[in-house]
């Protein structure tokens, strides 16, 4: 067991500066280290406030009590403030409160931590991406207490802030799997709502607005209905993947908004059809799944590489692949369509890109020769979603790319926390992690 030590530092300005107690309106009167390696700082208020909070009458000093508060770590060690607070006897003849204790501005009534300690917890979680366990260990507190402090503060920062949804004009919607368990089913999925306005306007990164349990049209419709008509009327664009439920919910709840299917999912859809075509030809020609000696298998990644990024070696590989067998003509046609879709999105002139995409969708719709079943399926899908796809070119390039990036960061969050069991905790931790709350946290 470690031995304890102590020192009298009454009225020491150096200690007050090192421990930054001046910003708490406290003065250090002593310090010690206990057996658990926790720094104990004795302190008192810089000035007495002997006025009754009920009637305002001046009180008479009665005695002192010690209030113990957890503060931010000092020199890497947990810290406890032992604040000696005066208690007064009220002199008001009509006041029902006979005894009152001086209150502290640095901590809420009944709180076990200082306000800046709560801010420190949020900064470590939101900015440094630490786990609750690591933060609790640094403070010498229990996991449950630190987690409750964090989620309560996050709930106040987000849901109690009337400005949280101000300025949202472009809304991103996507699904996300928050709980990877066997047999989780639909309960494992959530709908995430992201503000893409800063990204499109170039004023900052996208921010997570909310996380709702489930993935359906009803989930999105209900979330929109929970907010004001003013908020709904302000939304101009909703970006999404190809999920029909989000599209129908947008048309119903936000008739003035334009649904946009982002390029990532359109290109991904075309890439999937290209892969299915390659796999079909593999079975049709060779009678088995791909093996390393098969050109069809060896070229699987090269086929999905953007044409402008292909090396000379990769171009030669594709040429050998297309010339290897006459049935590979279907693969070559599918590859060209895949590259044409990418080129349309990459065109520097949005109007010209839209014209190319429209022509491509029309060409696929008019009919294709036999042997191009995958392209025929792609054409039917693109035709059905043509309005959403073409809207991308008219809406300043609004896409779900930043939403997918936030999805990736939430996957990292789940790894930091080693998984989540409580959905409410998961939502609030997500908002701390990706809600762009650093400015609000630092202002606490």
pLDDT digits (tens, 9 = 90+) for 158-196: 999 988 999 999 999 999 889 887 766 778 899 999 999
In this structure, is residue 330 part of a structural domain? yes
Q: What's the rounded Cα separation, in Å, for the pair 310 and 44?
A: 70
Task: For residue 67, tell me if it sits in a domain.
Answer: yes
| Residues 6 or more apart whose Cβ sits within 8 Å of residue 81 | 21, 24, 26, 41, 43, 68, 69, 70, 71, 114
The total number of residues shown for the chain amounts to 444
Confirm whether 271 is domain-assigned. yes
pTM confidence score: 0.81
Last residue of a domain, one of 77, 96, 112: 112
Q: Which of 363, 362, 387 is nearest to 242 (CA)?
A: 387
The count of domains in the chain is 2
First-last CA distance in the chain: 38
Whether 440 is covered by a domain: the verdict is: no
**Segments forming the whole domain that contains residue 33:** 5-112
pLDDT one-digit tens code per residue, 215-229? 999 999 999 999 999
Domain boundary among 96, 112, 128: 112
On whether residue 24 sits in a domain, the answer given is yes
Domain boundary among 394, 412, 432: 394
CA torsion sign for 236, 242, 246, 248 is: positive
Identify the helix (H) or strand (E) that includes residue 83.
Answer: strand 77-90
**Does residue 90 lie within any of the structural domains?**
yes
Residue 360 domain-assigned (yes or no): yes
What confidence score (pLDDT) does residue 238 get? Answer: 95
Q: Supply the pLDDT for residue 18.
A: 84
pLDDT in tens, 102-143: 989 999 988 999 999 999 999 999 999 999 999 999 999 999
Cα–Cα distance, 29 to 14 (Å, whole number) = 12
In this structure, is residue 91 part of a structural domain? yes
CB atoms within 10 A of CB 98: 14
Indicate the DSSP class of residue 236: -
pLDDT at 371: 86
């Amino acid at each position: 067991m470690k031995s304890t030590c102590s020192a009298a530092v009454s009225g020491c300005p150096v200690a007050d500066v090192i421990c930054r107690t001046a910003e708490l309106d406290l003065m250090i009167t002593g310090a010690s280290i206990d057996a658990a390696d926790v720094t104990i700082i004795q302190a008192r208020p810089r000035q007495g406030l002997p006025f009754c909070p009920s009637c305002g009458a001046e009180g008479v000093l009665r005695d002192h009590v010690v209030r113990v508060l957890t503060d931010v770590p000092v020199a890497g060690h947990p810290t406890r403030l032992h604040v000696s607070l005066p208690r007064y006897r009220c002199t008001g003849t009509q006041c029902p409160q006979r005894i009152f204790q001086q209150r502290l501005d640095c901590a809420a009534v009944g709180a076990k931590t200082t306000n800046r300690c709560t801010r420190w917890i949020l900064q470590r979680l939101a900015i440094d991406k630490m786990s609750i366990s690591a933060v609790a260990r640094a403070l010498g507190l229990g996991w449950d207490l630190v987690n409750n402090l964090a989620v309560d503060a996050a709930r106040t920062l987000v849901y109690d802030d009337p400005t949280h949804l101000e300025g949202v004009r472009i809304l991103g919607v996507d699904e996300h799997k928050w709980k990877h368990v066997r047999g989780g089913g639909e309960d494992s999925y959530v709908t995430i709502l992201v503000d893409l306005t800063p990204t499109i306007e170039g004023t900052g990164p996208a921010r997570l607005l909310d996380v709702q349990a489930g993935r359906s049209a009803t989930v999105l419709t209900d979330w929109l209905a929970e907010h004001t008509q003013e908020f709904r009327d302000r939304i101009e664009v909703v970006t999404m993947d190809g999920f029909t439920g989000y599209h129908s919910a947008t048309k119903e709840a936000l008739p003035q908004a334009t649904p946009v299917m982002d390029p990532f999912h359109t290109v991904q859809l075309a890439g999937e059809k290209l892969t299915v075509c390659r796999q079909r030809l593999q079975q049709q020609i060779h009678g088995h799944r791909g093996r390393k000696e098969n050109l069809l298998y060896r070229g699987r990644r090269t086929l999905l590489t953007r044409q402008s990024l292909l090396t000379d070696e990769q171009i030669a590989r594709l040429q050998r692949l297309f010339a290897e067998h006459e049935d590979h003509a279907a693969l070559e046609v599918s590859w060209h369509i895949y590259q044409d879709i990418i080129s349309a999105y990459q065109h520097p002139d949005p109007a010209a890109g839209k014209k190319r995409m429209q022509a491509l969708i029309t060409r696929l719709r008019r009919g294709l020769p036999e042997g191009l079943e995958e392209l025929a399926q792609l054409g039917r899908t693109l035709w059905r979603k043509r309005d959403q796809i073409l809207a991308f070119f008219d809406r300043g390039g609004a896409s779900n790319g930043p939403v997918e990036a936030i999805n990736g960061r939430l996957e990292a969050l789940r790894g930091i926390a080693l998984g989540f069991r409580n959905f409410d905790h998961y939502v609030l931790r997500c908002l701390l992690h990706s809600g762009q709350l650093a400015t609000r946290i630092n202002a606490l």
